[in-house]
C-alpha cells in the first residue's frame, strides 16, 4: 500500500551510507538558537559570562508547547545575540565558548541491548524525562515531543508509527542510527508505547534499506520489550516519510486536512526522536547532540557525525574534508525540503539532520517558462491539490482563489517544483502565498 | 573558504525534463505517421509538412518580435503545431494555403492569447478550422496514395490528370457504399473489408497523417510508455467513440458501419493520441480528462453519424476545448484529508 502521488528522485545515499556515526571534537564556540522548534520561543536562564556545564538547562519557556534548551558543553556564556538562523533569517541565540577540558560526547547505543527493561519507568516519569530533556521531533518538523506523548483520554492513541523512511535523497543519518543504534530506537519506541498505553507499534522503513529491515526484524525477535512491534516495508518514494503519507501507507488512513495525526489516534515519531527519548529516560541525558549527515558532491569526505547542537555548519563541513572548489550551495537539510544557507556560521538546530553541499552541476538553474498545464504537478502531489492553479493565483495576487484551491493544505514537500517541466517554483509560490494569507489575517507581522 | 553560496527556496533538485523534451517526445511519436505519409503521398506530403512546419516557426518568431518577448522557438511547440496541422490537411492542398492555415494557427490560435500555455483552442485545429471555412473545396479533395491498388474506386479518374486523381476518404466511401441500397449485402461487406485493410497500413485517401492506423498506434503507444501523455484521454476518446458507434450499429446495421471501422478511420487515432492530449487545451485533473475525452469521442460520433460531415474530429476537439476550463472548475480536487474545516 502507498499514498497517491509522490516522485522518485535518485536517492544518492551511497555517498555516505557506509560511514559510521562519528563523534566530533568539541567546537570552540556554539550558538544555541532560542527558537529551535514549533511553539513558544525559550527565554534564556543564563547571563553573559555565566559558567555553564554540559547538560545544564540554559533556556526554557512556560508554555505547554515548547521545549527547554541545554548546554552541550562545559563553558562560558559569551553573549546572547542575534545569529543567522537557517529558517528565520536572524534570531536570538545563546553563544557559548567551550572550555578546553571538554571531551567529545559519545553516543549511548552500547547501553541498550535486548535485555533493556522498560518496567521501572512509569508513564509520568517518561513524560517528565522527555519534557525536561527538551526533545522535539528530529525528523524536521520540530514539534515538541512531550506534547505528543501526553496521554489524552478524549483521543487515545491507537497506533504508533516509528518513521524510519528517510525518504530525502542524500541523508543517511537515520539509516546509520537504525543499523548502529537499533536497540536504542526500539527502546524509545517501547517507552512511547508505554506512556500512551498503546501496543500497536509499526516501524515504517523504505524498501531501499533492506539491511535495516533485516536488522530490525532480528532485534524485535531478540528483545522482549519489543515483542509485537511490526515492520512495515514501504515503497521507495518521496515523500514516504511525510507524516500524512506514512500514515496513509501504513494504516490506510487520511489525516484530516488542517488536522494532526492524534485526531485519528495515531502518533508518528522519527527514529532519531525515539533514540533521544530512550537516552533521556534511561540515561537522564538531555537532547544536546544529534546525528548529522554531511553529504553531497560538493563535499570532500561525506560522512555521518554526532555533533553538538549549536555547532556552525562551516565547522562540520571542515570535519568532512571541507568544500570542493566547485561547491556552490550549502543546504541545511536534504535537497527536497532543506534550507539553503548563505552564511556558514549558521548553527545546527535540533531539527538539522543533514548538511548537503551541491556543486555547479547539481544545482537547478531555473528559468521559469510558461505553464503548459501538463498536470504533472497534480499527479505528483501527495495530498492531491492543484499546485499550478494555486501558484498562478498567488503570482497574480489572487489569494482568495489560492485559498479556494486549498493553499493551506500544502505540506511543502517540493514534489511539484521537482517535477515541473517548465521550471516553475510552485512550492516557492505556495509558501509565499501562505505567508501573504497569514499577513492578511494579521497572524503575522509585515 | 571564499565561495559565494547560492540561496534559493527548496527543493534544490529537479527532474531532468523540460517543455522542450516533452514536445520532442511528441515529435518523435509523430515520426511513424510522417514516414507513412511520405510513403503514400510522396512529394505532396513533403511539401505540405515542410510548408506547415516552417511557416509555423516563422510566424512564432514574428509574433515574439512584435510582442518584444524572448524567442520561444526552442520549446518546439510551433513544430508540433506545424506537424499536426499538416497531418490534418489533405495532401493536395497548395503550399500557400498551408501558410495561411499556419498563420492562423500560430497568430490567432496561440499568440494573441499570450503564447504557449495560454491558448484556449488547439492551435492546429483552429488553423484547420479556418482553412475549412475559407477553402472548403480544397479541404475535401483527396488524392489517391501512390501505392493504392487499382481495384479501389476512384472519383473523377477519367476526367483529370493522373497527379490529381482523387478518391473519397474511407468514411466517405463507406457512407456511399451503405447508401447504395441496390447492392447486395455481402458485396458491401467485402468492399468494407478491403477498405479496412487499406486503412490499417494507410494506403487510402485521407489527410496526410491520419491514414495509417498502425503508424499512429506505434506513435501513441510510445507516448504513453514514455509517460509524455496520460493514457486517460486516448482511452476516453476511443472508448466513448466506440460505444456511440456500437449503439448506432446495433440499432441500424444497414445504415451504420461496425464500430472498429470508425476507430481506425478519419483521424480518430491521431486525435486520441496527439490532438485531444494537447495539455494546454485539455483539463488538468484526471476526472476532467475522462469527461473531456469522452466528450470528444461522443461529439465526433454525433457529427459523423448524424451530421453532414463524414469526419468530425476538428469540431469535437474545438468544442471540448472551449469547455475545458469549465470542466476543470467542476472537477476541482479535494485534498487527501478532505475539505478543511474553516
Reported confidence tier of residue A363, pLDDT bands at 50, 70, 90: confident
| Mean pLDDT to the nearest integer, B16-35 | 93
| For residue A381, cis peptide bond before it (omega within 30 degrees of 0) | no
**Residue A199: exposure state from Cβ atoms within 10 A (0-12, 13-18, ≥19):** middle
pLDDT digits (tens, 9 = 90+) for B77-98: 999 999 999 999 988 899 999 9
The number of C-alpha atoms within 13 Å of A362 and in the hemisphere containing its C-beta is 26
pLDDT band for position A445 (50/70/90)?
A: low
User: Residue B250 contacts by C-beta under 8 Å, 6 or more apart in sequence?
Assistant: none
CB contact under 8 A, B337 and A314: no
CB B40 within 8 A of CB B215: no
Question: Does the pLDDT value for residue B164 go beyond 50?
Answer: no
Q: Between helices B185-201 and B213-225, what is the axis angle to 10°?
A: 50
Q: Which of residues 342-381 of A touch B (CB under 8 A)?
A: 342, 344, 356, 358, 362-364, 366, 369-375, 378-379
pLDDT for residue A38:
82
Region A238-250: what's the mean pLDDT? 93
Of A256, A406, A422, the CB nearest to B19: A422
Minimal CA separation from A140 to chain B, in Å: 14
Nearest C-alpha of chain B: how many angstroms from A155? Answer: 18
Strands A303-308 and A266-270: unpaired
Nearest by CB: A409 against B12, B285, B340: B340
Cα-based distances in Å from A365 to B11, B62, B163: 12, 28, 54
Q: What pLDDT is attached to residue B157?
A: 37
Contact state of A418 with B9 under an 8 Å Cβ cutoff: no
Question: For residue B109, with 0-12 CB atoms within 10 Å meaning exposed, 13-18 middle and 19 or more buried, which class applies?
Answer: buried
% of chain B at pLDDT higher than 90: 51
> What mean pLDDT comes out for the span A254-269?
92
- Asked if B321 contacts B283 with a C-beta cutoff of 8 angstroms, the reply is no
Contacts 24+ apart (CB under 8 A), A147-156: A147/A39, A147/A64, A147/A65, A148/A262, A148/A267, A148/A269, A149/A192, A149/A195, A149/A196, A149/A267, A151/A123, A151/A195, A151/A196, A151/A197, A152/A262, A155/A262, A155/A263, A155/A265, A156/A196, A156/A197, A156/A198, A156/A265
Q: Residue A433, SS3?
A: helix
Tell whether A443 is within 8 A of chain B (Cβ). no
Residue B155 pLDDT grade (very low, low, confident, very high; cuts 50, 70, 90): very low
Task: Provide the pLDDT for residue A377.
Answer: 95
A244 touches chain B (CB under 8 A): yes
Task: Tell me the per-residue pLDDT of A378-431, one tens digit each, with 9 for 90 and over.
Answer: 999 999 999 999 999 999 999 999 999 999 999 999 999 999 999 999 999 999
Q: Which residue has the higher pLDDT, A142 or A190?
A: A190
Q: How far apart are CA B112 and CA A307, in angstroms?
A: 59
**Cβ within 8 Å, pair A342-B7:** yes
| pLDDT exceeds 90 at position A446 | no
Total Cβ atoms within 10 A of residue B103:
19
Say how far apart CA A37 and CA A351 lie, in whole Å: 8
pLDDT confidence of residue B175: 67
Average pLDDT over residues B242-248: 92
Contact between A407 and A433 (Cβ < 8 Å): yes
Chain A environment of B279 (Cβ under 8 Å): 372-375
Q: Kindly report the average pLDDT of chain B as a whole number.
A: 85
Question: Residue B160 has what pLDDT?
Answer: 36
A427 SS3 class: helix
A48 DSSP assignment:
T
Tell me, what's the pLDDT at B29?
Answer: 95
Residues in Cβ contact with A304 at an 8 Å cutoff, skipping those fewer than 6 apart: A16, A19, A20, A21, A22, A172, A173, A176, A291, A292, A293, A294
- Which cell numbers in the block locate residue A207? 524498501
**pLDDT tens digit sequence for A293-316:** 999 999 999 999 999 999 999 999
**Which of A111-120, A252-261, B300-309 is modeled with the greatest confidence?**
A252-261
Q: Does B14 touch chain A (CB under 8 A)?
A: yes
Q: How confident is the model at residue A444 (pLDDT cuts 50, 70, 90)?
A: low
Instruction: Name the closest residue on chain B to residue A388, using Cα atoms.
Output: B284
How many other C-beta atoms are found inside a 10 Å radius of the C-beta of residue A114? 16
- Residue B151 above 80 pLDDT? no
Q: Which residues of A touch B10 (CB under 8 A)?
A: 331, 333, 335-340, 412, 414, 417, 427
More confident residue, B3 or A435: A435
Q: Which residue from A279, A306, A310, A274 is spatially nearest to A290, judged by alpha carbons? A: A306
- Taking CA–CA distances from B277, the nearest residue in chain A reads A374
- Identify the residue whose cell numbers are 572548489: A325
A-chain residue closest to B72, CA distance: A369
Q: Residue B134 has which C-alpha cell?
A: 475559407
Q: If contacts are CB pairs under 8 Å, which of residues 176-235 in chain B contact chain A?
A: 230
Distances (CA, A) of A45 to A25, A57, A77, A266, B77: 26, 8, 11, 35, 63
B67 close to A (CB below 8 A): no
Q: Do B115 and A370 touch (CB under 8 A)?
A: yes
- What is the mean predicted confidence (pLDDT) over A419-446? 88
The answer to whether B12 contacts A9, with C-beta atoms less than 8 Å apart, is: no
Percentage of chain A exceeding pLDDT 90: 74
Query: How large is the average pLDDT for residues B45-70?
Result: 94
Residue A27 is classified by DSSP as: P
CA of A323: which chain B residue's CA is closest? Answer: B1
Interface of B with A in 105-144 (CB under 8 A): 115-118
* Chain B neighbors of A370, CB-CB under 8 A: 19, 72, 115-118
Cβ contact A257–B339 (<8 Å): yes
Tens of pLDDT, residues A82-108 = 988 888 878 899 999 998 888 888 888
Size of interface A-B (CB pairs under 8 A): 177
pLDDT over threshold 70, residue B182: no
How large is the C-alpha radius of gyration of chain B? 22
Instruction: Read off the pLDDT band of B106 (50, 70, 90).
Output: very high
State pLDDT tens for residues A41-52: 899 999 999 999
Mean pLDDT of B35-56: 92
d(CA A161, CA A243): 9
Least CA distance to B329: which residue of chain A? A405
Whether the predicted pLDDT of A274 surpasses 90: yes
Interchain contact, B341 vs A336, CB within 8 Å: no
- pLDDT at residue number B193: 74
The reported pLDDT for the residue numbered B8 is 86
Looking at residue A403, what is its pLDDT? 93
pLDDT at A360: 85
Write out residues 8-37 of A within 8 Å (CB-CB) of B: 9
What is the residue whose three cell numbers read 476511443? Answer: B238
pLDDT tens string B207-227: 888 878 889 999 999 999 999
Instruction: Choose the closest CB to A370 out of B12, B116, B332.
Output: B116
Give the chain A residue nearest B22 (alpha carbons).
Answer: A421
B1–A contact, CB cutoff 8 A: yes
Which of B60, B329, B334, B335 is best to mutate for the A interface (most A CBs within 10 A)?
A: B335
CB atoms A329 and B336 under 8 Å: no
Q: Which residue has the higher pLDDT, B35 or B341?
A: B35
Q: What count of other Cβ atoms lies within 10 Å of the Cβ of residue B227?
A: 13
pLDDT band (50, 70, 90) for residue A256: very high
Per-residue pLDDT, B342: 58
Q: In angstroms, rounded to a whole number, what is the distance separating the alpha carbons of residues A14 and B74?
A: 36
Provide the chain A residues 162-181 that lie in CB contact (below 8 A) with chain B.
169
pLDDT tens per residue, range A206-231: 999 999 999 999 999 999 998 889 99
For residues A334 and A356, the answer to whether their CB atoms sit within 8 Å is yes
Q: In the Cβ-directed half-sphere of A85, how many Cα atoms lie within 13 Å?
A: 18
pLDDT for position B258: 79
- In chain B, the residue whose alpha carbon lies closest to the alpha carbon of A11 is B13
pLDDT for position A37: 81
Cβ of A257 within 8 Å of Cβ of B21? The answer is: no
B176 by DSSP, 3-state: which?
helix
Over residues A51-70, the mean pLDDT reads: 90
Q: Taking CB atoms and an 8 Å cutoff, what residues of chain A touch B342?
A: 258
B 265-324 residues inside an 8 A Cβ radius of A: 279-280, 282, 284-286
Tell me the shortest Cα–Cα distance from B45 to chain A, in angstroms: 29
Tell me the pLDDT band of A21, cut-offs 50, 70 and 90: very high
Given the DSSP bridges, would you call strands A201-206 and A21-23 parallel, antiparallel or unpaired? Answer: unpaired
Strands A89-98 and A75-85: antiparallel
Contact B18 A421 (CB under 8 A): yes
Does the pLDDT at position B184 exceed 70? Answer: no
A331 contacts B12? CB cut-off 8 A: yes
In sequence order, what are the residues at sequence separation of 6 or more whose Cβ sits closer than 8 angstroms to the Cβ of residue B13?
A9, A169, A335, A336, A362, A364, A418
Amino acid at each position: 500500500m502507498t499514498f497517491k502521488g509522490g516522485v522518485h528522485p535518485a536517492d544518492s545515499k551511497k555517498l555516505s551510507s557506509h560511514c559510521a556515526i562519528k563523534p566530533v571534537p568539541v567546537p570552540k564556540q556554539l550558538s544555541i538558537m532560542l527558537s529551535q522548534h514549533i511553539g513558544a520561543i525559550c527565554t534564556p536562564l543564563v547571563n553573559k559570562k555565566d559558567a555553564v556545564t554540559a547538560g545544564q538547562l540554559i533556556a526554557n519557556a512556560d508554555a505547554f508547547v515548547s521545549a527547554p534548551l541545554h548546554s552541550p558543553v562545559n563553558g562560558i556564556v559569551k553573549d546572547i545575540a542575534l545569529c543567522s538562523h537557517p529558517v528565520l533569517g536572524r534570531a536570538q541565540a545563546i553563544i557559548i565558548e567551550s572550555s578546553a577540558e571538554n571531551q567529545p560526547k559519545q553516543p549511548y547505543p552500547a547501553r541498550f541491548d535486548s535485555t533493556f527493561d522498560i518496567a521501572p519507568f512509569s508513564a509520568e516519569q517518561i513524560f517528565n524525562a522527555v519534557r525536561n530533556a527538551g526533545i522535539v521531533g528530529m525528523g524536521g518538523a520540530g514539534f515538541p515531543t512531550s506534547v505528543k506523548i501526553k496521554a489524552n483520554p478524549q483521543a487515545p492513541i491507537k497506533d504508533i508509527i516509528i518513521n524510519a523512511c528517510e525518504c530525502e535523497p542524500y541523508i543517511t543519518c537515520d539509516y546509520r542510527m537504525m543499523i548502529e543504534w537499533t536497540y536504542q530506537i526500539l527502546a524509545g519506541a517501547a517507552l512511547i508505547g508505554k506512556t500512551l498505553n498503546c501496543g500497536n507499534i509499526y516501524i515504517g522503513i523504505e524498501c531501499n534499506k533492506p539491511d535495516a529491515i533485516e536488522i530490525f526484524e532480528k532485534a524485535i525477535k531478540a528483545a522482549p520489550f519489543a515483542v509485537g512491534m511490526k515492520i512495515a516495508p514501504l515503497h521507495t518514494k518521496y515523500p514516504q516519510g511525510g507524516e500524512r503519507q506514512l500514515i496513509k501507507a501504513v494504516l490506510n488512513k487520511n489525516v484530516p486536512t488542517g488536522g494532526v495525526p492524534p485526531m485519528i489516534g495515531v502518533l508518528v515519531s522519527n527514529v532519531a526522536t525515539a533514540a533521544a527519548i530512550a537516552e533521556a529516560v534511561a540515561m537522564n541525558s538531555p537532547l544536546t547532540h544529534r546525528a548529522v549527515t554531511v553529504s553531497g558532491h560538493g563535499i570532500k569526505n561525506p560522512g555521518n557525525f554526532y555533533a553538538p547542537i549549536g555547532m556552525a555548519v562551516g565547522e562540520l563541513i571542515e570535519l568532512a574534508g571541507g568544500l570542493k572548489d566547485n561547491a556552490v550551495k550549502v543546504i541545511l537539510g536534504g535537497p527536497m525540503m532543506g534550507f539553503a544557507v548563505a552564511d556558514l556560521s549558521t548553527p545546527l538546530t535540533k531539527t538539522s539532520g543533514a548538511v548537503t553541499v551541491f556543486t555547479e552541476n547539481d544545482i537547478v538553474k531555473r528559468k521559469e517558462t510558461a505553464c503548459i498545464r501538463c498536470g504533472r504537478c497534480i499527479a505528483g502531489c501527495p495530498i492531491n491539490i492543484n499546485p499550478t492553479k494555486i501558484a498562478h493565483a498567488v503570482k497574480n495576487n489572487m489569494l482568495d482563489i489560492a485559498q479556494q484551491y486549498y493553499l493551506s493544505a500544502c505540506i511543502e514537500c517540493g514534489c511539484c517544483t521537482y517535477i515541473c517541466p517548465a521550471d516553475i517554483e510552485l512550492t516557492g509560490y505556495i509558501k509565499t502565498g501562505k505567508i501573504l494569507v497569514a499577513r492578511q489575517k494579521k497572524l503575522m507581522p509585515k | 573558504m571564499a565561495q559565494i553560496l547560492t540561496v534559493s527556496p527548496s527543493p534544490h533538485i529537479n527532474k531532468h525534463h523540460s517543455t522542450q523534451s516533452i514536445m520532442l517526445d511528441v515529435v518523435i511519436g509523430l515520426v511513424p505517421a510522417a514516414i507513412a505519409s511520405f510513403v503514400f503521398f510522396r512529394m505532396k506530403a513533403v511539401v505540405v509538412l515542410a510548408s506547415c512546419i516552417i511557416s509555423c516557426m516563422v510566424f512564432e518568431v514574428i509574433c515574439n518580435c512584435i510582442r518584444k518577448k524572448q524567442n520561444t522557438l526552442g520549446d518546439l511547440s510551433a513544430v508540433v503545431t506545424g506537424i499536426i496541422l499538416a497531418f490534418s490537411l489533405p495532401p493536395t492542398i497548395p503550399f500557400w494555403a498551408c501558410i495561411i492555415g499556419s498563420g492562423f494557427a500560430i497568430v490567432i490560435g496561440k499568440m494573441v492569447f499570450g503564447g504557449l500555455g495560454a491558448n484556449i483552442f488547439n492551435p492546429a485545429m483552429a488553423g484547420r478550422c479556418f482553412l475549412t471555412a475559407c477553402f472548403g473545396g480544397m479541404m475535401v479533395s483527396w488524392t489517391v496514395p501512390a501505392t493504392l491498388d487499382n481495384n479501389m474506386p476512384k472519383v473523377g479518374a477519367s476526367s483529370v490528370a493522373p497527379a490529381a486523381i482523387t478518391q473519397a476518404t474511407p468514411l466517405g466511401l463507406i457512407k456511399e457504399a451503405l447508401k447504395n441500397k441496390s447492392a447486395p449485402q455481402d458485396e458491401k461487406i467485402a468492399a468494407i473489408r478491403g477498405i479496412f485493410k487499406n486503412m490499417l497500413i494507410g494506403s487510402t485517401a485521407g489527410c496526410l497523417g491520419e491514414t495509417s492506423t498502425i503508424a499512429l498506434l506505434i506513435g501513441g503507444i510510445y507516448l504513453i510508455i514514455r509517460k509524455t501523455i496520460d493514457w486517460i484521454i486516448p482511452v476516453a476518446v476511443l472508448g466513448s467513440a466506440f460505444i456511440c458507434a456500437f449503439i448506432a450499429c446495433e440499432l441500424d446495421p444497414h445504415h451504420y458501419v461496425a464500430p472498429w471501422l470508425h476507430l481506425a478511420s478519419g483521424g480518430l487515432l491521431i486525435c486520441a493520441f496527439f490532438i485531444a492530449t494537447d495539455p494546454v487545451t485539455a483539463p488538468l485533473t484526471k476526472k476532467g480528462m475522462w469527461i473531456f475525452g469522452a466528450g470528444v469521442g461522443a461529439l465526433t460520433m454525433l457529427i459523423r453519424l448524424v451530421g453532414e460531415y463524414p469526419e468530425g474530429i476538428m469540431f469535437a476537439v474545438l468544442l471540448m476545448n472551449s469547455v475545458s476550463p469549465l470542466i476543470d472548475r467542476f472537477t476541482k480536487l479535494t485534498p487527501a484529508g478532505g475539505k478543511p474545516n474553516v
